[in-house]
Amino acid sequence: MNTTAPRYSGPAIAAHWLIAALILVAFPLGVYMHDLPLSPNKLKLYSYHKWIGITVLLLFVPRILWRITHRPPAALPMPAWQHKIAEGTHHLLYLLMFLVPLTGWLMSSAKGFQVVYFGVLPLPDLIGKSEELGDLFKEVHEALNWALLVLVGLHVAGALKHVILDKDGTLRRMLPFGK
C-alpha cells in the first residue's frame, strides 16, 4: 500500500468537489431565500435548499468512511504551523459538513415541516414540533454557517497561497485531471 501517494484518490477528489459545489450553491441560496416574503417561489427555494443540504449529509457518510480508511497523501513540504492550520481547518470543515445540514434538518423538524427528499421521499422528523427548539436550531444553523464561511474562506485562501506564492502541487493533487 502506497500511503504517500502524491495525489488524492479518485473518490476523495470526487467527493471533495461534489460536496464543495453543493455547499457553494446551498449557502447563497440559504442567504437569499430566508428574507423573501412568503410565496410559492420561497417554498420551492426552501425545498431545493433542503434537498441540496440533505444530499451533502448523505454524501458526507461515504466520504468520511473513505477518509478514515484511506490516508490522504502526505503533506507537501511546508512550515509546521501552516500544516497545523491546514489540518485543523480540514477537520473543522468535516465537522461542519455534518453539523450544518444536520442542524438544518433539526430546525425543519422542530418547525413542524417534515423534509420530503426531492418531494417524494419523506424523511423521519428528528425531533417533535417545538417553537423554542425551532428557533434555537435556526440560530445554530445560521451561526455554524458563518463559521463555515470563514473556514472555507481560509481554506480557499490557503489553496491559492499554494498556487500563487508557493507554486507547489497542493491544488493540483486535489484537482480531478491533474498529474
Please report, as ranges, the residues that interact with ligand HEM according to CB under 6 A: 16, 20, 23-24, 26-27, 30-31, 34, 46, 49-50, 53-54, 56, 67, 72, 75, 86, 90, 93-94, 97, 100-101, 104-105, 107-108, 115, 138, 141-142, 145, 152, 155-156, 159, 170-171, 173-174
Total residues contacting another protein by CB under 8 A comes to 16
User: Which of ligand HEM, another protein, none is residue 101 near (CB under 5 to 8 Å by kind)?
Assistant: ligand HEM
The verdict on 40 binding another protein (CB under 8 A) reads yes
Q: Indicate the burial class of 106 (C-beta count within 10 angstroms; 0-12, 13-18, 19 or more).
A: buried
Identify which of 82, 83, 115, 104 has the alpha carbon closest to the alpha carbon of residue 148.
Answer: 104
Report how far residue 158's alpha carbon sits from residue 150's, in angstroms, rounded to the nearest whole number: 12
Angle (deg, nearest 10), helices 10-33 and 131-161: 130
**Residues binding another protein (CB under 8 A):** 38-41, 43-44, 46-47, 111-116, 119-120
